[in-house]
Chains A and B, each alone.
Chain A
Amino acid sequence: GAGVSQSPSNKVTEKGKDVELRCDPISGHTALYWYRQSLGQGLEFLIYFQGNSAPDKSGLPSDRFSAERTGGSVSTLTIQRTQQEDSAVYLCASSGRGSSYNEQFFGPGTRLTVL
């Protein structure tokens, strides 16, 4: 596709369940970023990938959060034992290399609601 896609667009889950959020970056983009946007908050950086490795995981809020990227393409953000405070919009972005000025392209987000 032409842009970054994310699935599902909406996810409602019960507290304590695990969820997986998927991001499909723009083809050829080597960098991939996950952010969380809570109501009334800015974008909170979670993790980014360069290829399949994650040089910076500093933003993951707890060990319930993990992410992986395989084949240098699709990434999955997993939240285990979800809590109500995990409710937010999870945004994915990707950027390419070759230019010194990497512009991020954002997906539409996954709205997660934990009941």
Chain B
Amino acid sequence: AQSVTQPDIHITVSEGASLELRCNYSYGATPYLFWYVQSPGQGLQLLLKYFSGDTLVQGIKGFEAEFKRSQSSFNLRKPSVHWSDAAEYFCAVGLRGTSGTYKYIFGTGTRLKVLA
């Protein structure tokens, strides 16, 4: 069965430090991959997505993610974290279904805390 694993439930970093959030997926083919962020009391916002091509994708807010097929991973990175990055981050895979639409499977999320 398809699954998405985010092994880190909580991560704490100091402001200005680098960040890497891990995501591994289980799927027979290369899925479509997404990272979303959910700030407190807010809906989910798309940070970036990967469908094909360059395995390093750039997103909003200075985030990037790298797709590694051999490791079935799609880790999210940011070189320098800002206090406003404190939020919950979700990795997701998109699986093509019928009628040209997609079913999405989400990981359980990683909650990021940023220390001043």
Contacts and interface: CB of A to CB of B under 8 A. Distances in A.
B106 interface: yes
Q: Determine the main DSSP class of B at the interface with A.
A: strand
Contacts of A50: 98-101
Given A31-B101, A50-B98, A101 B51 contact: yes
Interface residues of B, number: 28
Contact of A104 (B6, B99, B104): B104
A84 interface: no
A98 to B, nearest CB: 9
Interface of B: 4, 6, 32, 34, 36, 42-46, 49, 51, 90, 92, 94, 97-109
Interface of A: 4, 30-31, 33, 35, 41-43, 45, 48, 50, 55-56, 91, 93, 95, 97, 100-104, 106-109
